[in-house]
Structure 1
Amino acid sequence: MIKNDLYLRALKGDTAERPPVWMMRQAGRYLPEFMAIKEKYDFFTRCRTPELASEITVQPIRRYGMDAAILFSDILVIPQAMNIEVEMKPNFGPYLPSPIRSSEDVKNVIIPDIDDSLGYVMDAIKATKELLNNDIPLIGFAGSPWTILCYCVQGQGSKNFDKAKQFCFTNPVAAHELLQKITDTTIAYLKAKVAAGCNAVQIFDSWGGMLSPVDYQEFSWQYINQIIEALKDEAPVIAFGKGCWFALEDMSRSNAAALGIDWTCSPEFARQLTGGKITLQGNFDPSRLLSPPKVIKQMVTEMIDAFGKDKYIVNLGHGILPNIPLDNAKAFIDAVKEYNV
């Protein structure tokens, strides 16, 4: 039994004394203890070494006491397992030296054996569960198929993912073949994560907002929904589409346990679009953590009041930034723990 099950109760829609809180990218670059590990080991070594990944996962929990931990990993371990080379370049980000640009390239993409190619992630989950000692739940995650495709085709980060969109719009058959391969791999991967000990899983559609509402249905949402349907009976699934407020109504009709909201959509509008019937997560602007701690606390309280304390998980609207002062992150977490109706 998980001792602090606030997060899991919120996913079920239960009434609680306060909402749970965690922060996207909480295991990472704003923490000095993380930076000490980063200086010694490169990015994918950190992901592939269970002792390092588990230590990084619990670092923010020790410091701030969030209500859930999220496994330290990366969405791009999926394409790596699918026979697509991915590098993480310092001060640049992801780089794929041989991006997918043709139907032939898609044919060469494999659906891997998860235990064989991503067993190190499962080992990291087991090591993390030991460190957490059933105190709080552990979240596993994956990128949405569309977001993974963006990197696979573009070959790096982008402001508009023009090459990814061109590929989808000029070669839709190959694009859908690739999206389905990513989806099948992701389903197997998340099922393995749950079997290894994750209590919930989150799908990050970081680049969903690059698509029009019509294209979003075709190239992103239908594949996310496949993942939700495949996982719904095994663990709660949270779907987070950055910039995808236009799809919230459709998303709320799915079997997702919760929907992530970014800061461009107000709590009131998010509740209106989703009919008040599904748990929402978000949506504090990560840059707002640069405000003074007193202001942060006031804004967090106002945000909880706007969403309502039930069917709600306090979080940022995207990942925490590397330049956030430690006291400001603490103010964010403390404001939730001190919340009184």
Structure 2
Amino acid sequence: MSNSKPLLLRAACGESVDRPPVWMMRQAGRYMQVYRDLRDRYPSFRDRSENPDLSYEISMQPFRAFKPDGVILFSDILTPLPGMGIQFDIIESKGPIIQDPIRNIDQVSSLRKLVPAESMGFVGEVLGRLRESVKNEAAVLGFVGAPWTLAAYVVEGKSSKNYSIIKSMAFQEPDLLHKLLNHFAESIAIYLRYQIDSGAQVVQMFDSWAGQLSPIDYDTFAAPYQKKVVDLVKETHPNTPVILYISGSAGVIERMGSTGVDIVSLDWTVDMAEGCARLPKGIGIQGNVDPGLLFGSPNAIKERIIDTVKKAKGRSHILNLGHGILPGTPEDNAKIFFETGKSINEYI
């Protein structure tokens, strides 16, 4: 094995590569029997994600099974919240529950500055161990939740279908929300710097709920804080590629490209060729195979991957799903996804 940079890192930096690197969002998780067996022994999600031995083991499971080009930290976007003074639980059937939802200025003013080495030392440990284990066979990815999505969780208090509480705050008390978003932007930048210093070579920001905003509100409450995170990280780590992912982002793709990120991750609701055409040439593309396709036949999976890669040809492209791999996905089909991606030059 040469000492050159991993394929995914080279592609993310815009360098010429002989094929698109491939990994999957949520590639460590419920579709894998080995993960479910471990979950049965350790039923608390926070135990699995905050115990460095368990987080490391889960992060490595898909690498051992499929040898993807990227290995992503097993964690959660809410992991930094306790370090700011916000407590949460994750209930297996219900998702995240914020113990004391943030609704007033006193709560925002009392939030602590994040010091990741003190409150999340386990993250740094896991990233370092991953780098040591995968060497240059794969790039190590870190990730965070974007300010809008974190704010949505802590204001709503849980997952939401209509986001009425945070939108009420946005349109009745915008100054309060902006103060919260700014705190999260500064904290998330600190957290990303810590992840990079600990071993992450590429980082992804998930603004999972920003797709629920109209474009005018995206410009007000999401994009400026995404950009602030990127700008702060680039001040200290200018060469670390940053990926931005939003679910349901077809209406804001151009806006995503103007936040300073290096790579825009497309969901599957936009055609890959159209997504590429809507972004400047210098911005890389990640995605965007429908995760539901992995319930299909091997031929259907292969054909869609080939179509996606062909449409992204000429761009810096990281092959991925358009969202996280779904629970219940046959592991053999995940294997087909990875194997087809890694041997794509045989098909195009």
**TM bucket, shorter chain:** over 0.9
Which among 106, 113, 129 is matched to residue 108 of structure 2? 106
Is 1:11 the counterpart of 2:12? The answer is yes
Q: How far does the alpha carbon of each residue in 1:68-119 deviate from its partner, in whole angstroms, 9 at most, with x for none? A: 1100000001222211111011211101121111222212222222211111
Q: Distance in 2 between matches of 1:80 and 1:295?
A: 44
Give the corresponding residue for 2:174. Answer: 172
Amino acid across the alignment from 1:22: W
What amino acid is aligned across from residue 225 of structure 2 in structure 1?
A: Y
State whether residues 18 and 309 of structure 1, in contact with CA within 8 Å, keep that contact through their aligned partners in structure 2: no
In the alignment, is the contact (CA less than 8 A) between 1:75 and 1:142 conserved in 2? yes
CA distance in 1, matches of 2:322, 2:314: 17
- Give the secondary structure class of the aligned counterpart of 1:324: coil
* 2:251 equivalent in structure 1: 246
Aligned pairs for 1:207-218 (under 5 A) are 207-218=209-220
Q: How far apart are the structure 2 equivalents of 1:204 and 1:194?
A: 16
Amino acid at match of 1:21: V
From the superposition, tell whether residues 73 and 303 of structure 1 become closer, same or farther in structure 2 (CA, over 3 Å): same
Residue-by-residue CA offset, 1:237-279 (whole Å, 9 max, x unaligned): 1111222233322332343111100011111211111033311
Per the alignment, residue 20 of structure 1 pairs with 21
Distance 1:2 1:191, change over 3 A: farther
Q: Which residue of 1 aligns with 2:301?
A: 296
Aligned equivalent of 2:226: 224
| Residues 177 and 310 (structure 1), Cα distance of their counterparts in 2 relative to 1, 3 Å cut | same
Distance in 2 separating the partners of 1:108 and 1:254: 29
- Alignment RMSD: 1.5
Structure 1 contact 194–234 (Cα < 8 Å) conserved = no
List aligned pairs for 1:1-341, cutoff 5 A. 5-41=6-42, 42-232=44-234, 233-308=238-313, 310-340=315-345, 341=348
> 8 Å contact 2:114–2:190 — kept in the other structure?
no
Distance across 2 between alignment mates of 1:56 and 1:293:
26
Query: CA–CA distance in 2 between the matches of 1:289 and 1:36?
Result: 22
Cα distance change, pair 71–121 in 1 and its aligned pair in 2 (3 A) = same
> Is the 2:12–2:241 Cα contact (8 Å) retained in structure 1?
yes
Cα distance in 2 for partners of 1:136, 1:317 equals 21
For the 8 Å contact 2:223–2:255, the answer to whether it is kept is: no
Residue 131 (structure 1) shift: 2.2
Between the aligned residues of both structures, percent identity stands at 35
- Larger CA deviation: 3-12 vs 224-233: 3-12
* More divergent stretch after superposition (322-331 vs 113-122): 113-122
Normalization by structure 1: what TM-score? 0.96
Deviation by residue 1:137-185 (Cα, 9 ceiling, x = unmatched): 1000000000000100111111221111111221111101111111111
Q: 1:195 to 1:106 in 2, by over 3 A?
A: same
- Contact 1:126/1:197 (8 A) holds in 2: yes
What does the per-residue CA deviation read over 1:174-233, in whole Å, with 9 as the maximum and x for residues that have no partner? 101111111111011110110011101100010011101010011111101111112231
The number of aligned residues is 341
The amino acid across from 1:187 in the alignment is A
Shift of 1:310: 4.0
Q: Is the 8 A contact 2:23 2:71 kept in 1?
A: yes
Question: CA 1:2/1:248 → structure 2, altered by over 3 Å: closer, same or farther?
Answer: farther
Cα distance in 2 for residues equivalent to 1:156 and 1:284: 28
CA distance in 1 between counterparts of 2:196 and 2:125 reads 12
Distance in 2 (CA, whole Å) between partners of 1:67 and 1:57 is: 13
Once the two structures are superposed, residues 115-145 of structure 1 have per-residue CA deviations (whole angstroms, 9 ceiling, x without a partner) of 1111111111112222223321100000000
Q: 1:146 to 1:254 in 2, by over 3 A?
A: closer
Change (3 A) 1:2 1:259: farther
> SS where residue 274 of structure 1 aligns?
coil
Return the alpha-carbon distance in structure 2 between the equivalents of residues 266 and 273 of structure 1: 11
CA displacement at 1:2 relative to structure 2 = 5.8
- Provide the secondary structure at the position in 2 that maps to 1:100: coil
Q: Distance in 1 between matches of 2:46 and 2:75?
A: 9
Q: Distance in 1 between matches of 2:239 and 2:156?
A: 33
Structure 1 residues 2 and 297: CA distance shift in structure 2, 3 A: farther
Alpha-carbon contact 1:8-1:137 (below 8 Å) kept: yes
Q: Distance in 2 between matches of 1:336 and 1:134?
A: 18
- Is residue 19–residue 310 contact of structure 1 (8 Å, CA) maintained in 2? no
